[in-house]
Structure 1
Amino acid sequence: MIDTSDWRARLRQFFAIDDLWERVPSRGYLRRDAVLALVIWVVCALGLELVRSVGGFDHDAVHVPWWQAQLAVATAALPLVVRRRYPLSIAVYLSAHMFATGMLAPFVMIQFPMQVLYFFGLFGGMAWARSRSAAVTTLGFIVVFMFGWLTFQFALGAGAEGLDASKQYGLLPPILSNVTYSILVNIFYFGAAVLGGHLTWRNARQRAELAAQAQTLAAQSEQLREHAVTAERLRIARELHDVVAHHVAVMGIQAGAARKILSRDPSAAAGALQQVEQSSRDAVGEMRALLGTLRGRAEPGSRGPEPGLGELPALLDEVRAAGLPVRYAAHDDLGVGAASVPPAVGLSLYRTVQEALANIRRHSTANAASVVLRLAHGAKGDYAEVEILDDGRARPGTGGSGLGLLGMRERVTLHGGEVEAGPRAVGGYRVRVRLPIKGVHG
């Protein structure tokens, strides 16, 4: 037994029976269709008049008044104005028109201008129908009806009119040849109308999908652009906060020290003020470097590349000069050196140390701090880590905005690392940041 489920599924897929997409005409289509219908009407009316002018409507077998032929053309062409608004209704109407004209004036119905109009109606019904299921059902019924009508005409002997069955001019008898020819012509005619209209619908469907994909890509590109802008703003905010916070903290401590000893030890106060001056210059220099990066060029007086792990000793010397003793230790189990750490990772760790020490000076009663740098291999691969410890507690009335820790966590998230920040059980505060590093070998 032949399995019909497979070919039925193929037909459903080909004709997109289950597709709910609707083809929507573009704006102003009624005006364009009205112009097109008028042009078609004029051309077809002229075609029939040419047939009449050469005597096509005036011989023994055919007696068709000219006004009847022109009425048939008008009633078939003018409804095409709404072929895209009511595609299936127009297809059914023109099929009925074809049948009625074929019964009343068959010579008019078979003329080329009329066949063009009927073809246009069937084609438009398949191309513009809102529902694929309704289109296939309606056009299928029309095709079956038309072939049934054709079969009925053959049964009445329409295929033998004017033919001499006693003669054979080719391989096949005249009547059989005429019937076969008529069937093939109608198969091509109706098949081209149905398949051509459906392929037009499929092309429109594909264009709509491409347009939707283009809109989606445009929306995603806009979201990515906005995300990139937001990420860049956050990066700038972190950089500005870290640069300003560090140097302002140093200047605040030195200015306070200078105020206290100004009357007792002017020379020491002058040294503290000199440190304030140097910190202010460093802050301006780093901000100029940041602005140069943002503008894509070096600002006059910029400090060159952004700091990394190689600049940690200089940073700690600056903190020590501001009055906070800091111990420093570096453990390089990878044997690669701090300079081999990727610049983005090195900058993030440098800013972490800078922010942590600035917080100690501003908000802690700590008398000393320690910084440990580790380059090692862990369960997830190679990593670079900094750990900052102090021995103090939070100073009352000096709570910060939290932006420093927020920026620290954002940096860590950006690199897919780990961060710990909080009080220690034995006293003091601890900040530990671990960032993965790749492509570093000893």
Structure 2
Amino acid sequence: MNRRAPHAETPGRNAPGRFRGPFTRWPRGADAVLAVAIFLPTMLLEGGPGDTMVVRPVSEILHPAVLLFLVAGAALYRRRSRPVAVLWVTLAAWAGTLGSSHSALGGMVIVALYSVGRHSDDNRWGPLGIVAAIASLTIDGLLLSLPWSDIVFGALVMSGAWYLGRRLRLRAGRAARRLRDQAAEARRIVTEERTHIARELHDVVAHRVSMMTVQAGAARMVAAEDPQGALEAMAAVEEAGRQALDELRHLLGVLRPDSERDGLGPQPGLADLPRLVAEVREAGIDVSVTNGIRDPLPARVDLSAYRIVQEALTNVLKHSGPRTHAHVHLRDERDGLTIEVLDDGRGAALQAAPVAHKGPPGHGIVGMRERAHLLGGSLDAEPRPGGGFRLTAHLPVKGETT
């Protein structure tokens, strides 16, 4: 049971307010900017005295090697969709400049190696690309008489770029699997909860039909001797039929897999609330109830209201600790019944646990919200500013007319 369980239909969406950088928000545009941002310095700048960078002479900028820069830079635009091909294009372009003053494609190779680690599912190409890149770096360093420390440092940077991309890809994969698992679990909970609701509603409808059968039989037996009694019995049959049809409308569309029936007895309602409260009090929770319900409730609403209160109090019992005070407030409103359950416990994020009370097992917020939604209502749950938790459910009472 998780008091902060998300809606079942939105498990995979990004959390509100989560930061999304330009490479996530506008991937194509960001890659184009990245390619230009790497190409321009590669074309315009070269190494100067004392590890400085100076602007290339115009004659150097117009050198044919700049075409290789352009090809490698353009390839970076496809670094997400074709990361392996981009790596080999940049390596080939770099190979054509090794040992010359235009051997400046190491930065593009680093970006390509990162892209292979980040966006390629084939792990074979990353190590091969690192070997090829380090070999090119070593050849370039020997031809230009670079210090071995520079070559080793460059090799570490290239290896680190690929490793960083791979780690980010693995982490993203785990996050995606976690979201899929959460979505599957939410769907499983909804399906199981609908099974329980279908079973309970089926029993309610069966009860109404049984009443109709008894009343109709009584009317038939007394029709000749007591016409007025027969009329009253048939009026009761009509009312029970209307109620049964109203309940049946909410049963349609709820899938009920074939399974063993384990709840053939009468279903509980708010009339059983004192017994439930007594059980919770015996477990160490101080519970108070304000019952503002004046009119009888339809059977489906009465049952769902009881289950929601039961699940909410079980939540308090299991997760808020002893000596916690909980208050259940039931009130009639013009368009339905409102249930509010408050507690002053810790109200922390919780893990799933089975319900302690007798009856079908609950699934926290997901299950209670599913009950409310099937009746056309709503359910909200949130921590209270001063500590504890608040659960508010609204259940429509009026059914559709026949």
Normalised-by-shorter TM-score class: 0.3 to 0.5
TM-score, normalisation: structure 2: 0.46
Q: Which has the higher contact order (CA 8 A, sep 6+)?
A: 2
Which structure has the larger Rg? 1
TM-score, normalisation: structure 1: 0.42
- Choose between structure 1 and 2: higher helix proportion: 1
